[in-house]
Amino acid sequence: MIHDDIQKVLVTEEEIEKRCVELAQQIEADYKKTGQTPIVVGLLKGSISFMAELIKRFESPIEIDFMKVSSYEGTESIGDIRIDLDMRISAKERPILLVEDIIDTGRTLVEVKKMLKNKGATDVKVVSLLDKPHERAIQADYVGFVVPNEFVVGYGLDYNQKYRNLPYVGVLKPEIYE
């Protein structure tokens, strides 16, 4: 069982569900002020559980879409990303709410935001389930939970593509990395 590999739970399923209600209300109220409804764009694969929980709590007619990006590996150049899967809905003249699982260095988001602005998005906001506090160029507009600077898995987040299906966020036992 995947649960046996977990050393400690950092954020429970109940806490995430409750936070998603609060986040959706806050986000919706903010967009209402602008009179616009965003395209809610999930960054695959990590955002799927969070996105599913969050969008259920919106009451206005949002549209959803997905993107998958990856960083170029083995280069030191900051911010080089590759688009593996692009949005199907046009971003032109639309506000976009990006849904992310966790912000670590923030490099991915800086680049994706730039790209979407280049495609004509009027506004790009970010909601992230988790935030690892760091000195960085970008902050999420909305954050679910701040987590310590440890490697976390679950609720969409993986270690070598595993543990995304855990219904909570936790830390793996050290022997799993050995």
Binding ligand IMP (rule: CB under 6 A), the pick from 28, 104, 123, 141 is 104
Q: Does 5 bind ligand IMP (CB under 6 A)?
A: no
Q: Does 156 bind Mg ion (CB under 5 A)?
A: no
Q: Does 46 bind Mg ion (CB under 5 A)?
A: yes
Q: Return the closest-CA partner of residue 118 out of 80, 90, 98.
A: 90
* Sign of the Cα pseudo-torsion (63, 118, 48, 142, in order): negative
Beta-ladder partners of 69: 83
176 contacts: CB under 8 Å, gap ≥ 6: 5, 159
Task: Tell me, yes or no, if 30 is annotated catalytic.
Answer: no
Kindly provide the residue ranges of all beta strands, DSSP E only, lying in 72-139, ordered along the sequence: 81-85, 95-103, 123-131
The pattern of x and - marking residues 119 through 158 that bind ligand IMP according to CB under 6 A reads --------------------------------xxx---x-
Q: How many CA atoms lie within 13 A of 20 on its CB side?
A: 23
Beta-ladder partners of 159: 162
Q: Does 72 bind ligand IMP (CB under 6 A)?
A: no
Token output for 176: 């799993």
Q: Does 107 bind ligand IMP (CB under 6 A)?
A: yes
5, 30, 65, 104: the active-site residue: 104
Q: Does 106 bind ligand IMP (CB under 6 A)?
A: yes
State the binding partner of 105 from ligand IMP, Mg ion, none, CB within 5 to 8 A by kind: ligand IMP
Token output for 143: 């954050």
Q: Does 24 bind ligand IMP (CB under 6 A)?
A: no
Q: Return the closest-CA partner of residue 138 out of 161, 164, 105.
A: 105
Binding ligand IMP (rule: CB under 6 A), the pick from 12, 37, 105, 139 is 105
State the binding partner of 156 from Mg ion, ligand IMP, none, CB within 5 to 8 A by kind: none
Q: Which residues have a catalytic role annotated?
A: 104
- Which residues of this protein are in contact with Mg ion, per CB under 5 A? 46
